[in-house]
């Protein structure tokens, strides 16, 4: 059995936080799939972040880099082309079964920031974010540090979606069977109800 998402988050992601980062994030390990915070209502991406404009730019560039890396990597082993969409999510989901995820965990050194597990989760998180925005353009990035703490928010309702945490859940026993294309569609339906 693959380890639980929180165990994997603590093993592969938590070592890269400063004590101040850990205190600010408010969660010991993975975040809930959908959160609500009135703070985000009516805000735009720049207004939502506590980071300096220069740091926001850096985080935004890292997210773009991860998306570009996913495009390159996924075309080579998942044979995906074009723009990320639900087909990309379903293909990634189907390929990464328990055996693939366990093999990824087994070959990933938690002391290596560029381990296959961390990179795969971050690429999937960036693609999840891109697909969510493409399907609901009102969603905006809330930039955080480390960059995988960045989340999408809906300024209409204050809803917050942490796609990188979704990615860690997929790449664990907790979410391996969740079906993330359907999860995106269900999440968007919830967002529309909250926005009414």
At 24 the pLDDT is 85
- Of 125, 126, 123, 155, the residue nearest 139 (C-alpha): 155
93-143: pLDDT as tens digits: 999 999 999 999 999 999 999 999 999 999 999 999 999 999 999 999 999
Q: Is the pLDDT of residue 83 over 90?
A: yes
95 in a domain, yes or no?
A: yes
pLDDT value at residue 176: 97
Q: Quote the number of domains for the chain.
A: 1
Spatial strand order of the sheet with 151-154 comes to 35-36, 159-161, 151-154, 140-142
Q: Give domain status of residue 134, yes or no.
A: yes
Q: CA nearest 5: which of 174, 148, 161, 132?
A: 174
Structure tokens belonging to residue 120? 């795969």
Whether residue 89 contacts residue 123, with contact meaning beta carbons closer than 8 Å, is answered with no
Contacts of residue 135, defined as CB under 8 A and 6 or more positions apart, other chains included, come to 86, 184, 188
Enumerate residues 6+ apart whose C-beta is below 8 A from 190: 34, 159
Asked if residue 142 is part of any domain, the answer here is yes
Would you say the C-alpha torsion 75, 80, 83, 89 has a positive or negative sign? negative
Residue 26 lies in a domain: no
pLDDT at 68 over 80: yes
Q: Which domain holds residue 85?
A: 52-195
pLDDT of residue 146: 94
Evaluate if residue 196 carries a pLDDT over 80: no
Does 36 map to a domain? no
Q: Looking at the domain assignment, is residue 23 inside a domain?
A: no
For residue 179, being part of any structural domain is answered with: yes
pLDDT at 92: 98
Is 22 among the domain residues?
no
- Give the total residue count for the chain: 196
Residue 83 and residue 54: Cα distance in Å, rounded? 28
């Amino acid at each position: 059995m693959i380890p639980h998402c929180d165990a994997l988050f603590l093993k592969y992601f938590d070592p890269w936080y400063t004590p101040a980062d850990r205190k600010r994030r408010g969660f010991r390990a993975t975040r809930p799939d959908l959160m609500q915070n009135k703070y985000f209502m009516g805000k735009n991406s720049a207004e939502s972040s506590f980071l300096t404009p220069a740091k926001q730019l850096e985080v935004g560039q890292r997210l773009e880099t991860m998306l570009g890396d996913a495009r390159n990597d996924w075309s080579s082993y998942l044979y995906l082309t074009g723009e990320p969409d639900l087909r990309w999510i379903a293909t990634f989901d189907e390929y990464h079964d328990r055996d693939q995820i366990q093999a990824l965990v087994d070959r990933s050194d938690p002391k290596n920031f560029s381990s296959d597990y961390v990179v795969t989760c971050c690429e999937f998180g960036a693609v999840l974010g891109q697909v969510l925005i493409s399907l609901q353009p009102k969603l905006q990035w809330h930039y955080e540090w480390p960059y995988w703490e960045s989340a999408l928010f809906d300024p209409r309702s204050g809803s917050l979606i942490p796609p990188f945490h979704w990615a860690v859940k997929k790449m664990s026993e907790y979410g391996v069977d969740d079906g993330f294309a359907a999860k995106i569609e269900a999440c968007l339906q919830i967002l529309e109800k909250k926005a009414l």
